[in-house]
Each structure stands twice: as structure tokens, then as C-alpha cells.
Amino acid sequence: MFARLRRHFGRVDVDGEESRVKQTKPKEAYRQTSSPETVLNKGQANEEEERLNRELELTTKERNELTDRLLYVTGGSMNKSPYFRPNPFYEKLKIKEKKVMSLLHNLDTNNIQYREKF
């Protein structure tokens, strides 16, 4: 989407982090596009921006509706989703947590037993 905007505004070779044309390359080194650049006037640029904003809003709305539907179908948990794959690192971490918690519980019980003896 941003590539199309850059083409429409005449900014073909733009750094991803900055919104201005790079000045370090000579003019011959600019990327050649298959179609000639179209320079839009302000009215056309505003119309194109509004169209892209509407398209983005519709896509976002559709994504949110599909997410809501998925949450409804899976009973409110993404873990029950048919496309959900558990992270193996998370599973290993849960196992380690259980071991540590059981060790901590054993230490607490041992501590209480030794205190009662003395």
C-alpha cells in the first residue's frame, strides 16, 4: 500500500524509516519502474488518500469481525482454535515452572517440619 502511495506521490526510492527521497544516490541509480510515474495534483492525491483510508478501514473492520467470530467459535480461547500451534518454548517454561513450584513447596514443608522439631 505504501509503495503505491510513494509511486503516486512521485517518491519511488524512499528509505523505509524516512519519508523523504534519498539524496545519496545519483539520478541514474534510481529504480526504474515498469510504468511511467504519474504525478498527481493535490485533488487527485486527496481522493486517492481517502480511497486508501476507506479501504484500510474496511479491511480492519473485516479483520476485527473475523477475529470476533473466531473467538466465538473457539469459546473465547484462541488455544482451542484449529490453527493454534503451542509454542514449544512456552511449554518447556511451563514444565520448569511446575518443577520450581513443587521444589518451593517441598522446601516450605521441610522448613515447617524442622521448626517444629526445635
DSSP symbols for the chain: -HHHHHHHTT--SB-SS-SSB-SSS-GGGSPPPSS------HHHHHHHHHHHHHHHHHHHHHHHHHHHHHHHHTTT-GGGSTT----HHHHHHHHHHHHHHHHHHHHHHHHHHHHHH-
According to the model, what pLDDT value does residue 18 have?
47
The domain ranges of the chain are: 1-39, 86-118
The radius of gyration of the chain from alpha carbons, rounded to an integer in Å, stands at 29
Per-residue pLDDT of the chain (118 residues; tens, 9 = 90+): 666 666 666 655 545 444 444 455 555 555 555 666 667 788 888 999 999 999 999 999 999 899 888 877 777 665 655 666 777 888 899 999 999 999 999 999 999 988 888 7
Q: How far is CA 2 from the centre of its chain?
A: 16
According to the model, what pLDDT value does residue 79 have?
60
According to the model, what pLDDT value does residue 50 have?
92
| Residue pair 81/74 in contact by the 8 Å Cβ criterion | yes
